[in-house]
Structure 1
């Protein structure tokens, strides 16, 4: 069976990062013969998908290839199916939204003392973690893993959106973003929050409250409930939030500094 483009991309990324074919085969649970075949194809043709002229056409575009390689280099332990899922989600975005990535932190508490946070991005990934979000953790756990890989995939049109929360505006974060070199949407100091994830987060919390008829007994129970309800949110709910953005923006402009009904 031919190696999938996602796994082949991981092979090339790891080889070019200095790993031996034996080490790559062990890490990706492949035979050494399969790894050699991918490397030979890459050396001969300059890419790691099936050569033109065979019974099946090319599975991935050059942009896909860049995303596979950059994602693998930033997280060597990703499985090919995980890379494939991320790539499929990116391909499924509508063009007008595919160039934008946003983050938002939400709090879903067991009680008033809990600081569990669940973070989402428009690409569909989610990260659950405990503890306060510092600037360093924002870089290492969010930007480097869940944002930077999208830059190579989207290209020059990439725009990142986050608000003026303290970890986002820290000097070390601004320096990191400058070094990586991606565009950030300007966010005025006094502004209504138009991030549609705000409303998605509220929907998730309503669903969790409806699902659990008791206070969660542990962080793990809360995380399980949050993940299950997140995947139960209909795609149409998300699409409606996105489609409402023009009306939201018109109302913000009309009301100026006043609150909107949203």
Structure 2
């Protein structure tokens, strides 16, 4: 039985070459981890209309279009839509223009003649993750304001606990240790499935984020849990495996922070019963 994809990423492909567009569609259709809802347009004018009507996660932008060239296209999207991940598709001879697009606000660029399925999907994943980092910074600022107000209202330990002040590991050490154990097991599962291009443990991640959020955790608490989980792994795995967990685990930490953003921003939470993975 086929397992349904765990996530749908809405992608706007702005490409006037139909053959290149079909190649992108084919590469993205091979993913076992994510489902891509691809919307294809061939002109910038069509792209702006699509961006205003769709909830797009990432844009793939051809460097040269009939009505837009190079940084002009990136600038138009930025002016009209704002902060959205943009990956530029370019030829080998246009690398200088592609670098100008990076300076104009694009996340990255890919050479069309070197593009491979894994590389394309990974570039898309990292572009979306970098946008999550921006959202996370905004969340940190908001939480800092909340905590500042709470501190002004009262300095008692009871009030501090109610408002979730201080790290979870200091306020609730037993709960923190339990979360570290669950996080470490999920981290290993995530990295293993990432390397094998299998479906990631999204539901379990949402369960754990819900638990962290209910404990009043913030971004720094996720970092504390992540670091503690890596410290525990150091005594249980060999050096090569440890290096893989550290390097590839960065994406896991960022995704967990992104889910925490959703927990606080839109109230997305998973009800849970019993033990975590």
TM-score strictly above 0.5 = no
Considering Cα pairs closer than 8 Å and 6+ residues apart, tell me whether 1 or 2 has the greater RCO: 2
- So what's the TM-score if we normalise by structure 2? 0.28
- So what's the TM-score if we normalise by structure 1? 0.29
